[in-house]
Amino acid sequence: MADLRDDRVVSLDRPRVDVAIPRELGIHSAIPLAGGDDDLPAYVERDFDKQLQIALATNLPTRGSFVVMVGGSSTGKTRSLYEAVYGLVPEWDLVQPADAAELLEVKNAPPRETVFWLDELQQFLGAHPPLTSECIRALVRHGNLVVGTLWPDQYARWTAGREDVHLLVKSAFVIPVPDALNAGERSLAQIVARQDSRIRDALEAGEVGLTQVLAGGPRLVMSWEQSPTPYAKAMITVAADAHRLGVQSPLSESLLAEAMYGYLMRHQRVRPVEHWLAEALPHATQPLYGDVSPLFPVDDGRAGTLAGYTIADYLAQHVRRKRRIEPVPHAAWEALVTGLNRPDDLRRLADSAVARLRYCYAEKALRRLAEEFGEGRAVAELVDLLVRQDRLAAAADVLQRRLQVDPQDRTATRKLLHVQDLQQRADRIRPPGRVRGGGMSSEVADLLADGGVCDDLRRDADAGDVIAADNLVEELVDRGHLREIRERADRGELRAMEALADLYAGWGDTERLQERAERGERAAKLRLSKMRRTATRSEGSASEIAGLRAEVDDGSHEAALRLCTLLFELRDESNLRAELNAGTAGAAERFIALHAAQEDPSLIPLRAYGLDAAGAFLTRPPTP
């Protein structure tokens, strides 16, 4: 191909594809040969290879393509991508950017005939600033190939919305990569195995898939499950739980040690921290095959430096499934929210804490994002959290400090006025002698729980606004406010009667549904007539829950919401709490709604303060 490179483009490290080192592209080291040779094993052709080659080559030479391989860890997606790119454009330049910012720098004057290699694409999508559709389009228009890899759950996450970053991922040509070889691919592997003993050994292992065995996956799992020392298992578990909470940056030795405290028994904590590290690091970082190890060291961008350790992705995936409903210990939360210094990690930590109702840790992460990194979204979320806890003066203080830094922040100005209005409204209904922060009455708690949204709707609904009345009932249903729904139904409000009947039917509460049907309520009569069908639901609920959980583990956002709604309807607090610990989308809202529907007196502190690390109800704001 003609050399169309433009000397005006931003300087990038651009080796040719045919001289790139496969290990540095994210291809796992494999089982070594008996003689110690650590070269890549022979490639076994996959059924999707032809589709991949077409996706890469279709628009060349006038335009490029954006192709993403979607598959689990150690399924061979990066190796297949490398083989396809190498076979198509071996003489092209290859750029492996460190972050999204590096790509954004070249979008206005892109090179040509270049492969942009974005292994672990989620690191670019969740960066600050994130990768943009405009950037990818500019690279592709200039005839470049942009290629990346994603796990299925990450692909589901980054295609679930309608923001630019979600539309970007949806625009990619996706190549699904199965977890295991099919019968035809295994037959090809048998032929390849005659010349490569590693393929033969992997086929005979029978532990997991061929690609996972080649990458040392089973040995990685054993290194965690059968750790020779509790300190090594604790360290690996810390890294896995951090990964589960969304942390992507390497973890320093000091952070690992602080977090390990929560995974050790009391007598194990007595030994000095230096002993913990001396016991843990040799095993956790010991290479199993080639350079594959449970935790691997990462530099900080300079020669001879150590930024920390990152867990092997196959092991992270395995431990996440094993520990998906286990609470993360307090020591780990504290070490992460105080010790991490990348805003992207703190943002994901804050989101993970909120999803688990661990508001005390969300507050610390949000404060750091607001105060150290000036993130406006964090300011707004922190203020909303403080308002729910009746810490209105603290919320106003956060906004005033924000406006001192940026007087033109209109969002902060509006929120400050809103907080001041809420202060006045709360003080008017606060019981005599009760001071702010001295324990909330139910009226004040209801006002502050949603920043006055329901209170405003009540006012308009009671004034005769039909739309406001309908919207109010929808809000009350989402929050599980059974008492108010029942009161409005008793007053003859049609939408409230229908919502109440739906709730009773979903819970299988035939007795109360029968009572309302005997009063002549048409909605109750209709739901009652269908109860025979819904009565069998509980019999198959266990299999339905298991099926939905499998979909959730594969990254389905829709399945997560359906699962949590089902558990709410079944009033299954135990399983709903398990999903809360897992951070499943919708679990927090449904857990709070369940306590509201059961008219549990613990609702007020739950809604305001959430849970501690172990899952116990907090009854007051955390100590600063």
The pLDDT assigned to 252 comes to: 96
Domain boundary among 506, 535, 564: 535
CB burial readout 492-526, b (16+ within 10 A) else e: ebbbbbbbbbebbbbbbebeebeebbeeebebbbe
* Statement: residue 36 has pLDDT above 50: no
For residue 175, list its beta bridge partners: 69
Question: Same structural domain for residues 52 and 177?
Answer: yes
DSSP 67-97: EEEE--TTSSHHHHHHHHHHHH-TTSEEE--
Residues 388 and 449: beta-carbon distance below 8 Å: yes
Residue pLDDT, tens place only, 352-363: 999 999 999 999
Q: How far apart are CA 175 and CA 55, in angstroms?
A: 9
Within-domain flag for 436: no
The whole-number pLDDT of residue 253 equals 96
Region 108-137: mean pLDDT is 93
Which of the four pLDDT bands, split at 50, 70 and 90, describes residue 47? Answer: very high
Q: Write down which residue in 341, 363, 391 finishes a domain.
A: 341
Domain membership flag for residue 208: no
Quick check: 553 pLDDT over 90? no
State mean pLDDT over 13-19: 86
Domain count, the chain: 4
CA 9/CA 387 separation, integer angstroms: 49
The amino acid at residue 255 is L
Three-class DSSP labels, 366-431: HHHHHHHCCCHHHHHHHHHHHHHCCCHHHHHHHHHHHHHHCCCCHHHHHHHHHHHHHHHHHHHHCC
Same domain, 520 and 570: no
Selection from 150, 179, 181, 197 nearest residue 45 by Cα: 181
What's the mean per-residue pLDDT of the chain? 89
Closest by Cα among 326, 354, 245 to 592: 354
| pLDDT at residue 210, rounded to an integer | 82
107 in a domain, yes or no?
A: yes
pLDDT of residue 124: 93
| Degrees, nearest 5: CA angle 466-469-471 | 110
**Does 13 have pLDDT greater than 90?**
no
DSSP strand pairing (295-298 vs 308-311): antiparallel
Q: What is the CATH number of the domain that holds 152?
A: 3.40.50.300
Domain-embedded: residue 428: no
pLDDT in tens, 581-615: 999 999 999 999 888 888 888 888 999 999 999 99
| CB crowding 530-569: b at 16 or more within 10 Å, else e | eeeeeeeeeeebeebbeebbebbbebbbebbbbbbbbbbb
- CA of 397: how far to CAs of 381, 404, 423, 448, 527, in Å? 14, 11, 13, 17, 50
Residue 217, pLDDT score = 79
SS3 617: strand
* Position 149 in a domain: yes
Give the mean model confidence (pLDDT) for residues 204-214.
73
**Domain that residue 313 falls in:** 219-341
Domain match, 586 and 471 both: no
Instruction: Establish if 407 belongs to a structural domain.
Output: no
162 and 22 housed in the same domain: yes
Three-state helix/strand/coil letters over 111-131 = CCCEEEEECCCHHHHCCCCCC
Q: Which of 125, 79, 101, 104 is nearest to 248 (CA)?
A: 125
Query: Does the residue 401 lie in any domain?
Result: no
- Is residue 42 in some structural domain? yes
Residue 1: the pLDDT is 35
Same domain? For 266 and 135 the reply is no
Percentage of residues in the chain with pLDDT exceeding 70? 92
**Average pLDDT of the segment spanning 117-132:** 91
Model's pTM, two decimal places?
0.80
Q: List the beta bridge partners of residue 68.
A: 148, 174
Pair 480, 579 in one domain: no
Domain end, chosen from 469, 503, 535, is at 535
Asked whether the predicted pLDDT for residue 554 surpasses 90, the reply is no
Res 544 pLDDT > 50: yes
Do residue 25 and residue 104 come from a single domain?
yes
Instruction: Give me the mean pLDDT over the 558-566 stretch.
Output: 94
Per-residue confidence band for 433, with pLDDT thresholds at 50, 70 and 90: low
Q: What is the pLDDT of residue 115?
A: 97
Same domain for 177 and 254? no
pLDDT, one tens digit per residue, over 309-333 is 999 888 898 899 899 999 999 999 9
Tens of pLDDT, residue by residue over 369-422, are 999 999 999 999 999 999 999 999 999 999 999 999 999 999 999 999 999 999
Task: Assess contact for 523 and 497: CB atoms under 8 A.
Answer: yes
pLDDT tens readout for residues 262-271:
999 999 999 9
Please give the share of the chain, as a percent, with pLDDT higher than 90: 61
pLDDT of res. 37: 52
**Do residue 516 and residue 545 come from a single domain?**
no
pLDDT of residue 574: 95
Pair 123, 243 in one domain: no
Q: How far, in Å, CA of 1 to CA of 399, rounded? A: 58
Q: What is the DSSP letter of 281?
A: H
- Cβ proximity of 508 and 531 under 8 Å: yes
Domain co-membership, 249 together with 119: no
366-371 long-range CB contacts below 8 Å, 24 or more apart? Answer: 368/337, 369/343, 370/398, 370/402, 371/401
Amino acid at 106: V
Q: What is the mean pLDDT of residues 210-215?
A: 80
Distance (Å, rounded) from C-alpha 373 to C-alpha 219? Answer: 41
Structure tokens at 604: 């007020």
What Rg value do the Cα atoms of the chain yield, rounded? 28
Do 530 and 569 lie in one domain? The reply is: no
Q: What is the pLDDT of residue 387?
A: 95
DSSP string covering 329-372, please?
PHHHHHHHHHH---HHHHHHHHHHHHHTT-HHHHHHHHHHHHHH
Residue 328 pLDDT: 98
Q: Which residue has the tokens 């065995």?
A: 213
